[in-house]
Structure 1
Amino acid sequence: MNKEFSYDDNLASTYDKYTGMVGKVAEADETAAFLERFSSGRSAFELGIGNGRVAIPLSERGVKVEGIDNSDSMLKLLAKRTDLIKAWKGDIADFSSEQRYDLVYCVYGTLTLLFTREEQIACLRSAAAALKADGILVIEVRVPALDGFVRGQRTTTTFVDHENTFVGAEIHDPLNQNLTSTLLWFSGTSVKRWPERIRYIYPQELDTMAECVGLKLAERWGDWARGEFTDVSKRHISVYSRAPSQSRAADFSPCGV
């Protein structure tokens, strides 16, 4: 991930408040409950573990959780919250682990922060290599919402209360499936700027990318409560297992990357 778009100390320190305001902290227990059935009492590895929003409630369910993140600031926040989770700095597009896990998971659209298809497939390949033979990979990403762009630009207001306003400005590059955006957070008299750059992924495309590394779709849901995934869903939670004929995912790459 481009360092220009990584969490600095200022953004990391406000992450808890931001995720709480948009409902992601309240959702963490539901996420952990979903993930627990693939790792109950066993082992899990999180890609982009951040401050432990999901990893901590999952570990409290008896799962041994480890993870990586590219942000020193977020890892420091995690270390302050718990000493039960082993996490280290790393690039989710290119990592290796001697240990094999029952579950590898990547939530909140973290996979799309990798800005090229090649990096995203490399991440999936690394994740597949970290799985046990019967391991499971879980990915949460947003369904691309591309309405409202005018000449490749869009401005939206995503949250308003008596004190805070979130205004998002985005530029769309459809040829590369890229969105470059800035969230402006107005709170009282202060303004915070939160830049982000993603490569969005269509659900069927993610399935094909998973096939490139020897994985197949096992389940797809519209939310962590296992609601149905439909044509109006805003995100999907996709569950992948190893393809039957593939004993080693790294040996299977029909996509040529």
Structure 2
Amino acid sequence: MTFDPSAYGRHAADVYDEAYAHLDPAAAVERLAALADGGPVCEFGVGTGRIALPLVARGIPVSGIEGSPEMVEGLRAKPGGDAVELAVGDFASTRVPGEFSVVVLAFNTVFALPDQAAQVACFRNAAAHLRPGGRFVVEAWVPDPGAFRAGSALRPLRVTEDEVLLEAGLLHPAEQRMTTTKIRLTDTGVRLLPANHRYAWPAELDLMAELAGMRREHRWADWTGRPFTDDSRTHVSVYRRPESA
């Protein structure tokens, strides 16, 4: 099957901000601003600007790569959206001009790439965007195949008075893939938000960074910097390009 980086946005762009309005980007923005130390930031999978626009509001130059023209349209319609230099394409290979202090790939988006080869290419693309000493920051969940029973799972992600968000998934462990669809129930009806994932354990991401010429500098359980432990279900990993070759 041919990978289409625009597919997710075609299904989700019009409800993306509403569906994920409960996610507060403040801790991520604070951490990224500190890591960038005033330098420019490039976000892979910039979406509708959940992280990029607060960084712009802080005076940080931001560029982005996004697979979905619909997501880009949503970002451009927001205050500050015109300040983000954007390229539409696959962030495993698409380039934007410049060298950056930080490249960020947030909210599990590394797993949207279809296979290991594409993920390795993404790490190399990130390294190519970094200035010497720059950092590649990846936010992702820790795979948990044990959460599936007989290769399938259905779990609630969010339950409120006016919204229920569920995720149905099928596990394909031989290829480290998950076929998932989020089911959003509101008083206006039902929306299906399909997305496939090629998951990878943190140590595998570390090896991808090594192949791209970077070394892990930090790994936290979340954007606040809590220690990463055996019980952590998510991680924020920081990989650094050497100051010199």
Q: Do these two structures clear the TM 0.5 threshold for a shared fold by scoring above it?
A: yes
- Stretches of structure 2 lacking an aligned partner (at least 5 in a row): none
Q: Distance in 1 between matches of 2:17 and 2:96?
A: 29
1:237-248 map, 5 Å: 237-243=236-242, 247=245
Cα offset, 1:48, TM superposition: 0.5
Aligned-pair Cα RMSD in Å: 1.6
Secondary structure at the counterpart of residue 105 of structure 1: strand
Q: Distance in 1 between matches of 2:123 and 2:6?
A: 23
Cα offset, 1:88, TM superposition: 2.0
What do the CA deviations read for 1:74-122 (whole angstroms, capped 9, x no partner)? 1011111122211121211112344111111110011110010000000
Is contact 1:207-1:217 (8 Å) kept? yes
Secondary structure at the counterpart of residue 123 of structure 1: helix
Cα offset, 1:4, TM superposition: 7.7
Secondary structure at the counterpart of residue 37 of structure 1: helix
Q: Distance in 1 between matches of 2:100 and 2:188?
A: 47
Cα offset, 1:5, TM superposition: 3.9
Percent identity over the alignment is 31
1:61 aligns with 2:68: no
Amino acid of the residue matched to residue 11 of structure 1? A
1:207-222 map, 5 Å: 207-222=206-221
Secondary structure at the counterpart of residue 35 of structure 1: helix
Q: Distance in 1 between matches of 2:208 and 2:242?
A: 13
Is contact 2:6-2:67 (8 Å) kept? no
What do the CA deviations read for 1:164-191 (whole angstroms, capped 9, x no partner)? 2222211101111100011111112500
Q: Which runs of 4+ in 1 moved over 6 A?
A: none
Secondary structure at the counterpart of residue 226 of structure 1: coil
Match of 2:160 in 1: 161
Secondary structure at the counterpart of residue 51 of structure 1: coil
Q: Distance in 2 between matches of 1:176 and 1:240?
A: 25
1:226-245 map, 5 Å: 226-243=225-242
Secondary structure at the counterpart of residue 175 of structure 1: helix
- Stretches of structure 1 lacking an aligned partner (at least 5 in a row): 248-257
Given the alignment, which residue of 49, 52, 76 partners 2:49? Answer: 52
Cα offset, 1:39, TM superposition: 1.5
1:184 aligns with 2:183: yes
Q: Distance in 1 between matches of 2:49 and 2:6?
A: 22
1:109-148 map, 5 Å: 109-148=108-147
Match of 1:171 in 2: 170
Equivalent residue pairs, number: 241
